[in-house]
Copies of this chain bind each other. A is one copy, B any other.
Amino acid sequence: MMQEKVRELLEKVSARKLSVEEALRQMKIEPYEQLSCARVDHHRALRCGFPEVIFCQGKRPEDITEIARAILRKSSCLLATRADEAAFRAVKKAHRKAEYHRRARCVTVIKKKPEPQPGQILVICAGTADIPVAEEARVTLEMFGHGCQTIYDAGVSGIHRLLSDSDKISAADCVVVVAGMEGALASVVGGLADCPVIAVPTSVGYGASFGGLAPLLTMLNSCAAGVAVVNIDNGFGAGFLAARIARRKCAG
């Protein structure tokens, strides 16, 4: 695409419809014009079919409102993660359709519903305390047009619960596994699934969990092949990647 743009410019230069100076300026500026802070993401959204995302943590409400407005000028939807009540109000100020998913700590603005995507995605979480991270993944997937099934509270200490859902696991195109404490769920699911498994360690737990280090290491060392790991508590990242994987199917 960039290639084509350059060819076009070259042809104009060759046809003397464009001066060297102007071509140079455009070659220098064009690809970059859309690359300044806010703009690059429009470009990305267009190319990828994915909505814009704001990571709210550590951002001031006024910045959130401003970024949200900028995004919504060009994009039909918006996802804001790690959003507390103040962040929600900040997005609300930018657009009245802002909706707060409290458990997922996400705010969404959907001006136009995303097109439904094919691909079955399954989100499993180990304990009730892992639900917020699982929900962040689920909301992310929905923003991308993916419905997803969920199995919550499926810890490995009651392995039968999980096995009773092995059909869902078999049917999935991608499974997101969210687990804190010891994170063993990822290995068990990895052994049952034959699709890609994305593991999300959570900071749920105490003591030797060391803020999610324990499940992180567990998941990285998973004896089940086919499991990859994202950052601790990164439900969004898991959802985003799951959507990318599922899209493979439709793109084929």
Q: Which residue of B lies closest to A48 (CB)?
A: B194
A216 touches B223 (CB 8 A): no
Task: Give a binary string over A205-247; 1 marks a CB under 8 Å from any B CB, 0 the rest.
Answer: 1111111111111111111111111111110111011001110
Contact of A35 among B161, B182, B222, B224 (CB under 8 A): B161
Question: Known contacts being A32-B161, A157-B187, is A214 close to B221, with CB within 8 Å?
Answer: yes
Say yes or no: is A156 at the interface (Cβ < 8 Å to chain B). yes
Bound-state Cα–Cα, A220 to B3, Å: 32
A23 neighbours in B (Cβ, 8 Å): 10
Q: How many angstroms from the CA of A48 to the CA of B170 in the assembled complex?
A: 11
A6 interfacial contact with B, CB 8 Å: yes
Quick one: which of A12-51 are within 8 Å of B by CB? 13-14, 16, 19-20, 23-24, 27-29, 31-32, 35-37, 40, 44, 47-48
Flag if B35 contacts A6 (CB, 8 Å): no
State A226–B47 Cα separation when bound (angstroms). Answer: 15
CB distance from A145 to the nearest CB of B (A): 15
Tell me the complex Cα distance, A137–B187, Å: 21
User: Which B residues are CB-close (under 8 A) to A246?
Assistant: 248
Q: How far is the CB of A185 from chain B (nearest CB, A)?
A: 8
User: Which residues of B have CB within 8 Å of A233?
Assistant: 206-207
Chain B residues with CB under 8 A of A228: 198, 228-230, 237-238, 241
Whether the Cβ atoms of B164 and A35 lie closer than 8 Å is yes
A192→B223 contact, CB < 8 A: no
Which B residues are in CB contact (< 8 Å) with A229? Answer: 220, 228-230
A167 at the interface (CB under 8 A from B): yes
Q: Does A184 count as interface, using CB distance less than 8 angstroms?
A: yes
Nearest-neighbour CB distance to chain B for A88, whole angstroms, equals: 18
Q: Please report the C-alpha to C-alpha distance between residue A129 and residue B192 in the assembled complex, in whole angstroms.
A: 22
The answer to whether A210 and B217 have CB atoms under 8 Å apart is: yes
Min CB gap A160→B, angstroms: 5
- Contact check: which of B208, B223, B245 meets A245 at CB < 8 Å? B245
Q: Which 4 residue pairs spanning A and B have beta carbons closest together?
A: A207-B232, A184-B184, A32-B164, A249-B252
